[in-house]
Amino acid sequence: MREETMNSILSELNGTSADIEASAVISTDGLMMAALLPSGMDEDRVGAMSAAMLSLGDRTASELARGELDQVLIKGDQGYVLMTHAGEEAVVTVMAKPTAKLGLIFLDVKRAAEEITKLL
């Protein structure tokens, strides 16, 4: 039931922008909780990478006195990866096209993360 609700939230998130190519909810230890990923994309790899980057982001923000981590953004020539905490137990990971309007995506991801936080 909870996974279905998370998938519904991700589906709505992906539908808010044509620039969002994939999204997932991942536990902070790297286990996939819900995902809307393209075929051929390895869920385990996405989960492990998201957990590792979020952990590194948390530590970096703390060690460099930047306060509580809000999000991690990775920009590559093929697009963006955005990770945002969803409570203390999970992270929402979104992959977007290189031409994405990030301001709108940040807002939509924050809303989705808040909805997921309420479920957990």
Mean per-residue pLDDT for 51-77? 93
Evaluate if pTM is beyond 0.85: yes
Mean per-residue pLDDT for 7-24? 93
Q: Where are the domains of the chain?
A: 2-119
How would you write the chain as a 3-class SS string?
Answer: CHHHHHHHHHHHHHHHCCCEEEEEEEECCCCEEEEECCCCCCHHHHHHHHHHHHHHHHHHHHHCCCCCCCEEEEEECCEEEEEEEECCCEEEEEEECCCCCHHHHHHHHHHHHHHHHHHC
pLDDT of residue 35: 93
pLDDT value at 31 more than 80: yes
pLDDT of residue 102: 92
pLDDT-based confidence at residue 77 (cuts at 50, 70, 90): very high
Domain 2-119: assigned CATH number: 3.30.450.30
